[in-house]
Amino acid sequence: MMLQRRTFLHAALSSGLILPASSWNAWGLESPRKAPFRVLFSNDTTNIESCPSPFKKRGTPFTEANLRASVQETANHGIDVHLIQPGLCWIPWWQSTVMPMRQHVDWLTKQGLKPNTFERFVLNGGDIVKTFIEACRACQQKPFLSIRVNDAHHIFRGSKAKPEEREKAVTEFQLFADHPEWRLGPDLGPTMQYQFNWAIPAVREYKLSLIRELCDSYDFDGIELDFMRHTVCFNPKTTTTDERRKIQSDFVRAVRQALDRGGRKRWLCIRIPSDLTMHDSMGIHLPALAQAGVDMVNASGYYFTDGQMPVATLRQQLPESVALYSEVHFTTATTQRIPPDTGDRPYPAHRRTTPEQFYTVANQTYEQGGDGISAYNFQYYRGTYNPTDVYGTPSEPPYEVFDHMGDPRWVKRQNQHYVIGFGRWGNVLRVKPLQAVEQHLFMAPPERGWNTPGRLRIQSPQTLGSTVWQVNLNGVALEPASDVSAPYPSPYEVGIGKPEDYRAWTVPVALLKKGDNVIALTLTSGAESVLTYLDLALL
């Protein structure tokens, strides 16, 4: 009978049926234990070198003390799990026998290239993974390793060759140079074509060999598979939906088996796009991945704090035993641009996320059945030495926002600031004259409810000049407001723009709904305009 029950459960999960954790006991099975973590924090390591900070002087070699300081500064702020990204996860930033650093550096030398500061650290006996684990234990944080599944950053080192000339350029990793047949190919465009084709077993096996080495050699608490770095794994013209799903499920299952060796419980998390339309091309099928052994799902808006994460929809695809997290970033809108100081490339003016916006996203996550918050690229509040990467006046990361973000009741009592910021996936919102454009704003009320009128604003990267706008909220026209100032004080000036870049309207409380609110924007007079930001706050 037990065998029949397990066979039925396997078939049900394979078909996409979601069984709540409460039903497992009815089948005579032990209900899986849910991850107890509320706040996850990711550390890409490279911020230590690229961002100004109190613990790393520009131009000095990377040291073990630098890494320990980057963990220590997050201590005592309610962070349960700290994740390290040990490089791009093709060349190990740990003491590896799968790909020894000496072998990699010798190859670089033959190409006339030098190792970077992290590679020199490992070459000289340093171990980023070992040091990170020790630093987390000292701070009472659970150490996780975040493994980039198919990262395409810096495939070409020291070369600024045009795309059509890149075949002649020196590649960063010998693996990429030796195996051009593993690439996705020109169908995927000028950059992604050089990424590895995840449909090739040897590609996945190399990544698995690194993961198995980590699982066998280090005492950490979990692994995150980062499918966001980068999101292209397959050529959709040469693979089917079923093939992509099976490949990803089998890969996740193999990682689960590696984690389970030794008999201790280690958690398996996946970082995926919150945009569900991207899942099919990536082979992401949440019911199958949950069955394959995923414990935690980290939903990402990709490089910006998405105030409209479809948490409820994602929750419906997962069993209750799998924890679901909304990812937040240092920025709420990445599509702002400002003129450059030199050259002809505009700087990206990433608008910084404020405390009220963090608390609002957390409140909306819990209201939709999410289990917690994860943070990514948080250290980039400091900006970067390269202004075309992260421009702006440096600010210390507000780690204090995590003090209470793991408490659903606390964030529900805070001021709510609802935002639609346009990021990598959304690009910008183009509004043509006399053509209404709809935006859907999900709103979860604070504990006290909405009691006073609010203000809705739109922002353009250029002046809105003499343009005239009409806005309807849930079918009712709003009255224009002359006050376009920010509803809450903000210490960050980047991406704020000028008053003439905004329009505002008064929002009566009676119009608001818990859940989806429909905003219709119409440009009634003036030329086509671009919008990069929309917010609604009720003071």
What's the pLDDT tens digit per position in 205-251? Answer: 999 999 999 999 999 999 999 999 889 999 999 999 999 999 999 99
Element of type H or E holding 506: strand 502-507
Distance (Å, whole) CA 388 – CA 340: 9
Structure tokens at 233: 């794994």
Per-residue confidence band for 538, with pLDDT thresholds at 50, 70 and 90: confident
| pLDDT: which is higher, 467 or 539 | 467
The CATH label, of 3.20.20.100, 3.90.226.10, 3.20.20.80, 3.40.605.10, for the domain at 38-415 is 3.20.20.80
Per-residue confidence band for 339, with pLDDT thresholds at 50, 70 and 90: low
pLDDT for 4 equals 45
pLDDT for 13 equals 44
What's the pLDDT tens digit per position in 166-210? Answer: 555 555 678 888 888 998 888 877 777 888 999 999 999 999 999
What's the pLDDT tens digit per position in 409-449? Answer: 999 999 999 999 986 655 789 999 999 999 999 999 999 99
Q: For the chain, what percent of residues have pLDDT higher than 70?
A: 88
Query: CA-CA distances (angstroms) from residue 75 to 36, 52, 72, 84, 145?
Result: 18, 19, 5, 15, 18
Query: CA-CA distances (angstroms) from residue 382 to 127, 128, 331, 343, 389?
Result: 26, 22, 12, 23, 12
Per-residue confidence band for 24, with pLDDT thresholds at 50, 70 and 90: very low
Residue 36, pLDDT > 80, answer yes
For the ranges 26-35, 157-166, 188-197, 290-299, which has the lowest average pLDDT? Answer: 157-166
pLDDT for 14 equals 41
pLDDT for 10 equals 43
pLDDT for 422 equals 84
pLDDT for 383 equals 94
**Does 2.60.120 match the CATH number of domain 419-538?**
yes
Helix, strand and coil content of the chain, in percent to the nearest 5, comes to: 30, 20, 45
pLDDT mean across residues, the chain: 89
pLDDT for 20 equals 44
Largest Cα–Cα separation, the chain = 75
Q: For 255-317, give the DSSP string.
A: HHHHHHTTS---EEEEEEES-GGGHHHHT--HHHHHHHT--EEEEE-SSS--TT--HHHHHHT
Distance (Å, whole) CA 208 – CA 256: 11
Residue 487, pLDDT > 60, answer yes
Residue 5, pLDDT > 60, answer no
Residues 6+ apart with CB under 8 A from 417: 354, 356, 357, 360, 487, 488, 535, 536, 537
Arithmetic mean of pLDDT, 250-272: 96
What's the pLDDT tens digit per position in 103-150? Answer: 999 988 888 888 999 999 999 999 999 999 999 999 999 999 999 999
Residue 358, pLDDT > 70, answer yes
Q: For 146-197, give the DSSP string.
A: EEESS--TTSB-S----GGGGGGSPBSSHHHHH-GGGB--GGGHHHHTTSB-
pLDDT for 153 equals 79
Residue 370, pLDDT > 80, answer yes
- Residue 151 near residue 90 (C-beta atoms within 8 A): yes
What's the pLDDT tens digit per position in 56-107? Answer: 999 999 999 999 999 999 999 999 999 999 999 999 999 999 999 999 999 8
Q: For 193-259, give the DSSP string.
A: TTSB-TTSHHHHHHHHHHHHHHHHH---SEEEEETTTTS--S-TTT--HHHHHHHHHHHHHHHHHHH
pLDDT for 27 equals 41
